[in-house]
Structure 1
Amino acid sequence: MQIIEGAGRWTSPGEAANDWVEHLRVPNLSVGTYCIPAGGLDTQSPHTEDEIYVVTAGRATIKTPTGTAEVAPGAVIFVPAGEEHRFEDVTEDLALLVVFGPLYGSLTLPS
C-alpha cells in the first residue's frame, strides 16, 4: 500500500504554461497531476496509453473527435489510447488527477 501525497492537487505552473507531475510509476500504470491555469492552453498530444482524468478543481471543456463536454470537480473522463483530446475554455484553474494504463510512455503508436 502507498499513499500518493499531492495527487490531484492544484499547483501553479509558474513559468511553464502547464504543469505535469508524475507521482507514481509502476510497470502497469502511472498516476500524476496535470494543471492548466485559467485562460491557459492545453498543448498535449495523444498518448499511446489509455487514460483516465478525474477533475479535482476548476472548470473547462474537453474536446475530442467524438464529442465535447463541460467538466468540473468530480467529473471522470476516459480517453482511449491515440485519441486526440484537448481541454479548452479553462475558466477556473484546472487540476486533473491522471491515471495511465499501462505506464505512461511505455507503448508506441503503430507506424
Structure 2
Amino acid sequence: MEIIDSGHFRPGPDGSPDYAEHLSVPALSFGTYSLPAGSADEQSPHLQDEVYVVTRGRARFTSGGRTVEVGPGTSLFVPAREEHRFHDITEDLVALVFFAPAYSGVPAPDDLA
C-alpha cells in the first residue's frame, strides 16, 4: 500500500498550471493537475485514456466537441488522442488525473490526434 498526498492546489512557480505525478506503474499513473483562476490550459492530446476528478474550483471543460461546467465532484473521461482542455477557470482548479496505461509525457502525434 502507498498513501498519496493529493488534491492540494500547487500551481507552477510562475503561477502557471502544474501537473504533479504521484504514482506510476505500467498499467496506470495518477497525478494532480492544478490550474490557477484565469490561467490557460494548453495541454495537447495524450496517447493514454484519461480520467479527471475535479476536487476543487470551477471552470468549463471541452472535449470531443462538447463543453460542460465542472466543479468539485465532476468526473470526466477523455479517450486517448482526443483534444481537450479546461477553460474559463473562475476558481483555482484541482483535478485528480488518472492515465491508463501510465502517462509517458509524450503528446499524441498531430496526425493521430
Same fold (TM over 0.5): yes
For the 8 Å contact 1:13–1:37, the answer to whether it is kept is no
Counterpart in the other structure of 2:37 = 38
- Distance in 2 between residues matched to 1:60 and 1:106, nearest whole Å: 24
For the 8 Å contact 1:42–1:87, the answer to whether it is kept is yes
Counterpart in the other structure of 1:60 = 59
Moved over 4 A (4+): 106-111
1:4 Cα deviation after fit = 1.0
Q: Mark the runs of 5 or more structure 1 residues left unpaired by the alignment.
A: none
Q: Residues 69 and 108 (structure 1 numbering): CA distance in 2 closer, same or farther, change over 3 Å?
A: closer
Amino acid in the other structure paired with 2:58: R
The C-alpha deviation readout for 1:21-44, integer Å capped at 9, x for no partner, is 000011111000111100000010
Q: Residues 17 and 49 (structure 1 numbering): CA distance in 2 closer, same or farther, change over 3 Å?
A: same
- Distance in 2 between residues matched to 1:108 and 1:86, nearest whole Å: 14
TM-score where L is the length of structure 2: 0.89
1:3 Cα deviation after fit = 1.2
- Distance in 2 between residues matched to 1:107 and 1:61, nearest whole Å: 25
Residue 83 of structure 2 aligns to a residue in which SS?
Answer: coil
Identity of aligned residues (%): 52
TM-score where L is the length of structure 1: 0.91
Q: Residues 93 and 107 (structure 1 numbering): CA distance in 2 closer, same or farther, change over 3 Å?
A: closer
